[in-house]
Amino acid sequence: MDTLDKLRLLSADSQYDLACSCGSSQHDHRRRGLEGNWLYPVPLAAGAKGILFKTLVSNACGSDCRYCPLRQSGNVPRCSLAPDEIANTFTEQLRRRWMIGLFLSSGITGTADQAMARLVETAEILRRKHGYRGYIHLKIIPGASRAAIDAAMRVASAVSLNIEVPGLRHFARLSRYKDFHRDIVAPLKYIAEQTARGAPHARLRTSTQFIVGASDETDREIVRYLDGLYTRLKLDRAYFSAYQGALGDPALAGEAAPQDGAARLTREHRLYQADFLLRRYQFDAAELIFDASGNFDLQDDPKLAWARRHPECFPVRIATADRRQLLRVPGLGPVAVGRILKLRRDTRLRGPESFGLRGRNAARVRPYCDFSP
């Protein structure tokens, strides 16, 4: 295959590593570029969108992750790109359109450090040869040494390492090649140390990813780990990827969480909603509501479930409530709350329409609000 043929394959295979928007609008979906490679929309400030160029360096992999189509025993065409091929192609793309940056990941080819070396070399070529000063996100390969992680952090704008599942028991069901504590937890802690305030790489953004439904983990377990990643390791973001059973080890289907594809995607969506409650709505993990099995209700979003469990907190008086109280109202997000806090200084808000909500959104908010003076 030539460079563009390999890029088409590797950029498609990169879809299993998440680092960008996961919305329901068609404008949030990836799309093919001019050469057939995948380009990903990423939300920016003030509602704008930017394009992220995303590819693997190689889809050859020595690991045995049972949920992954690229595992060693997986039946997929294999290929690799040389660092200069990626750098040159990305630079050419930059000449044709504005993009916010590059996301690079890879299968584990050789050792973890050898795979990391190819990622870092690509970034170094862009930085030093092409003078690129923009955004580069590098995936940290599980089991990478501290020296390899340091090398990545010196040239990257952001790094991520997939935690995959909440804990050793679930991890052991999915991989015998990797060690959960040595290859995942220890590097995550090291990244946290090196990106803490005042540390050498404090400017870097950090993230991780959970595979949802490949084991029998509960949402409560995921949220417990998620809370630790945010409160103790200070990660900036977590992503969730619903397990696609047809792509994994056929034997895993009978061992995974007993949900069909649609339910698993809804579960993924509920986890994103819970993640937003923790990161942007001032909720504590202990406040979230789970059913008897330890999972979120697939019918109601976690914020609405909390509101129904706590009728004593409503209605919220729009004229006097503080930001935290307003963020508890189903249907109100940070943007709407900011608008309320600004507008009520100078005018009385008589209903959801006063701060821009209409139709179904207004109907959802109204039962939980008091619009009296």
Return the structure tokens found at 259.
Answer: 């949900």
Whole-angstrom distance, CA of residue 123 vs CA of residue 118: 9
Among residues 92, 164, 152, which one has the least CA distance to residue 124?
Answer: 152
Q: What are phi and psi of 176, to 5 degrees?
A: -105, -15
User: Which run of H or of E encompasses 261?
Assistant: helix 261-280
User: pLDDT digit of tens for each residue in the chain (373 aa)?
Assistant: 788 788 778 877 776 765 544 443 444 444 545 444 445 445 444 444 567 888 899 999 999 999 998 999 888 899 999 999 999 999 998 888 777 889 999 999 999 999 999 999 999 999 999 999 999 999 999 999 999 999 999 999 999 999 999 999 999 999 999 999 999 999 999 999 999 999 999 999 999 999 999 999 999 999 999 999 999 999 999 999 888 877 788 888 777 767 777 888 899 999 999 999 999 999 999 999 999 999 999 999 999 999 999 999 999 999 999 999 999 999 999 999 999 999 999 999 999 999 999 999 999 999 999 999 8
Whole-angstrom distance, CA of residue 346 vs CA of residue 179: 59
For residue 134, give the amino acid letter: G
Cis peptide leading into 367, omega within 30 of 0? no
Return the structure tokens found at 325.
Answer: 């109280």
Name the CATH code of domain 3-287 (choices 1.10.3720.10, 3.20.20.70, 2.60.120.640, 3.40.640.10). 3.20.20.70
Q: Where are the chain's structural domains?
A: 3-287, 310-370
To 5 degrees, how large is the angle CA 247–CA 59–CA 253? 15
